[in-house]
């Protein structure tokens, strides 16, 4: 064998060893759960139903939540459902993305945040030094929604998106820890 081939095999061995080590030592949690795949427009009816049935808490981390005054569809319906939940004394906590340059996403998130604060919903913003791209919601520390849907009419009606509904207290606790770490 020539030295180039030996070096290439050594590099491949080192990379494979690293990936095996990284996966074995990674700080991940595995949980048993009931999982429902919600592609495209299948998310909204499930999400609204679960928000309407919330009894204790709703935790959200959302990259973009572009609300509309029309409460009969998409993001406006989610916004109205969250306000109704807060009026039922459900604790609603939402973490939104923020940026240094005051981009479109930040403007929409701040606009929504002002409205939610007026309606007894706790709102926090991620550090402008980060790009918080999480899209997660947890209801009553039992039901989690995690996926690609932003809360915008485009994502909820037109885009190709997929979110999973996970029923697991353990997974929900892990998701809440992540959501509450966003500041």
Contacts of 49 (CB under 8 A, 6+ apart): none
- The superfamily in CATH containing domain 29-181 is Endonuclease Chain A (3.30.870.10)
Predicted confidence at residue 100, as pLDDT, reads 76
Q: Which carries the bigger pLDDT value, residue 24 or residue 59?
A: 59
Q: What is residue 147's predicted lDDT score, i.e. its pLDDT?
A: 94
Q: Quote the pLDDT of residue 14.
A: 61
Neighbouring-strand partners of residue 65:
151
pLDDT over 60 at 161, yes or no: yes
Read off the tokens for 54: 């919330």
Judged against a pLDDT cut of 50, whether residue 72 lies above it is answered with yes
Residue 99: predicted pLDDT: 81
Strands (E), 14-73: 34-39, 57-62
15-52, pLDDT tens digit by residue?
A: 666 555 555 544 567 777 788 999 999 999 999 999 99
* Contact status, residue 70 vs residue 76, Cβ threshold 8 Å: yes
* Higher per-residue confidence, 30 vs 59: 59
The CA distance from 164 to 172, in Å, is 13
Residue 138 half-sphere exposure, CB side, CA atoms within 13 Å? 22
pLDDT at 132: 85
**pLDDT one-digit tens code per residue, 89-148:** 999 999 999 987 778 888 899 999 999 999 999 999 998 888 888 999 999 999 999 999
C-alpha 14/C-alpha 50 separation (Å) is: 47
Mean pLDDT confidence for 68-91 = 91
Between 2 and 176, where is the model more confident?
Answer: 176
Residue 26: its pLDDT value, please? 47
CA distance 16 to 3: 20
Buried b (16+ CB within 10 A) or exposed e, 147-166: bebbbbbebbeeeebebebb
The domain segmentation of the chain, as residue ranges, is 29-181
What pLDDT score was predicted for residue 81? 96
């Amino acid at each position: 064998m020539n030295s180039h081939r030996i070096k290439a095999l050594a590099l491949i061995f080192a990379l494979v060893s690293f990936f095996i080590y990284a996966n074995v030592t990674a700080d991940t949690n595995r949980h048993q759960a009931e999982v429902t795949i919600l592609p495209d427009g299948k998310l909204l009816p499930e999400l609204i139903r679960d928000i309407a049935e919330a009894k204790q808490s709703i935790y959200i981390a959302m990259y973009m939540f572009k609300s509309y005054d029309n409460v009969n569809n998409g993001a406006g319906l989610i916004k109205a459902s969250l306000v109704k939940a807060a009026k039922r004394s459900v604790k609603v906590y939402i973490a939104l993305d923020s940026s240094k340059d005051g981009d479109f996403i930040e403007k929409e998130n701040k606009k929504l945040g002002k409205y939610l604060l007026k309606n007894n919903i706790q709102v926090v913003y991620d550090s402008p030094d980060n790009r918080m791209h999480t899209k997660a919601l947890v209801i009553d520390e039992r039901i989690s929604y995690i996926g690609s849907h932003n809360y915008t009419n485009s994502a909820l009606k037109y885009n190709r998106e997929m979110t999973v509904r996970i029923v697991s207290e353990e997974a929900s606790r892990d998701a809440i820890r992540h959501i509450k770490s966003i500041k």
